[in-house]
Amino acid sequence: MTSAIAEDVWVVELEFPQASVVEATNCYLLADADGGVHLVDPGWDTDDTLARLEAGLREAGFAVGDVRSIVATHLHPDHLGLAGRLRRDHGIPVALHRAEHAALTRPQFPDPGATLARWGVPVDHADEVRSGLAPRSAPSGLAGDVVLDDGDRLDIPGRDVVVVHTPGHTAGSICLHDRGAGLFVSGDHVLPNVNPGLGLGGFAPDDDPIGAALDSYAKVAAYDDAEVLPGHGARFHGLAARATQIAERHRRRSAEIAALADADPRASVWELASRVAWTGGWEGLAGFVRLSALSQTELHLRHLSRS
C-alpha cells in the first residue's frame, strides 16, 4: 500500500516475509526537483518485496529506473536487504553511515561458541541460540557506495535532508531530517509502539550501546516539531516524549538487571536474562527475540559497570 505523506513524499508498506514483532517495513519515497526519486529503507531482499516496491513506485508515478539513490537508516536486512539487488540490477548507489559501512565487513558474533560460553547458555539450549548466532557470524558483504556522517546533507536536488547520527539500535543508525518538509525519518531509533532493541550490530566489544542510545534519545528532542516517519508503524507527532519514554524504559531495565545481579553476583547472563520481566515472559521468547534478550542483558551489565 502506498500513501502520500507530504508534497512529493510517499510511504510504501513492505510486508515482512515471516511473522515478526512488526508486520512491515516503511519504505519512504522522496521525489527530487529533477524528476527522480530516492528510497529510504527498501526492505527485505525477496521477490515479493521487490514486486510491492515496484507497484508502490508506480502508484507514486515512478518506475525503478527513476530511482536515483537508496539510503538505509541501518544495516538490518528488513531495511537494507533489497538495496543490494537494486544496486546490482539497476546501478542505484546505496548510502549508509560510516559505522554501518564498516560493520558490514565484519561479523557481529565472530565466535558463536565463545558467545555461548560467555553467556552461560545451558547445553540443552545451545543449538537454539547457536542457530541465531550463525547467520551473524560472517560479514554480509554489502557495503555502501556513499558513506554518511552526522550532519551530512543528502544529494537530493530540491530537498534539504540532513543526516542525524543516532547510535544505539546499531552503531551507525541514522535518522533523516527533511527540514523543508518538516519530516523526521526515525528508522528503528524511535518507533511509535515497539521498544527497539539496542546494540544489534556494529559496536566494538568495549563500546557502551546503552549509554550511546540514551544520549541519542536526548539528541532527537531538538526535532520535536517535526512529524515522525518511523521504520515500522504509523507516523506520529511527539518525538521528544516518545524518545524519553523509550529511554526511561531502558533505564528501568538497567535498574532491574542491577538488582538481579546484586542478588546473585555469580549468575550467568543466561540466568539473569531468564529472570528479567520481559514482555510476554522469558519462556515466550524464541529465535532472534531470545538472542536479543541475552545480548541486551549483557549490554546492560556492561553499562552498569561503567556507571
- Would you list the DSSP string of 237-279? S-HHHHHHHHHHHHHHHHHHHHHHHHH-TT--HHHHHHHS--T
Residue indicated by cell numbers 502506498? 2
pLDDT over 80 (residue 19): no
pLDDT over 80 (residue 307): no
Banded model confidence at residue 37, pLDDT cuts 50, 70, 90 = very high
Residue type at position 30: L
Strand partners, 148: 97
pLDDT in tens, 41-85: 999 999 999 999 999 999 999 999 999 999 999 999 999 999 999
pLDDT in tens, 264-287: 999 999 999 999 999 889 998 888
Enter the pTM of the model: 0.93
pLDDT in tens, 125-152: 999 888 888 777 666 667 789 999 999 9
pLDDT in tens, 104-120: 888 778 888 999 999 99
Ranges for all domains in the chain classified under CATH 3.60.15.10: 2-104+140-251
Report the CATH number of the 2-104+140-251 domain.
Answer: 3.60.15.10
Q: Degrees (nearest 5) of the Cα angle 269, 207, 191?
A: 80
DSSP string of 271-298, one letter each residue: HHHHHS--TT-GGG--HHHHHHHHHHHH
3-class secondary structure, 82:
helix
Cα separations in angstroms, 147 against 29, 120, 121, 176, 279: 20, 38, 37, 14, 36
Residue indicated by cell numbers 557495503? 143
The confidence score (pLDDT) of residue 139 equals 61
The confidence score (pLDDT) of residue 137 equals 61
Using an 8 Å Cβ cutoff, are 72 and 95 in contact? yes
Angle of helix 112-119 versus helix 123-133 axis, rounded to 10: 130
Mean pLDDT calculated for residue range 286-305? 92
pLDDT over 80 (residue 87): yes
77 phi and psi angles, rounded to 5 deg? -65, -20
The larger pLDDT score, comparing residue 287 to residue 305, is at: 305
Q: Which helix (H) or strand (E) holds 10?
A: strand 9-15
pLDDT in tens, 213-232: 999 999 999 999 999 999 99
**Percentage of the chain modeled with pLDDT above 90:** 80
The confidence score (pLDDT) of residue 69 equals 98
Cell of 307: 556507571
Q: Which of 52, 41, 54 is nearest to 82 (CA)?
A: 41
Using an 8 Å Cβ cutoff, are 192 and 230 in contact? yes
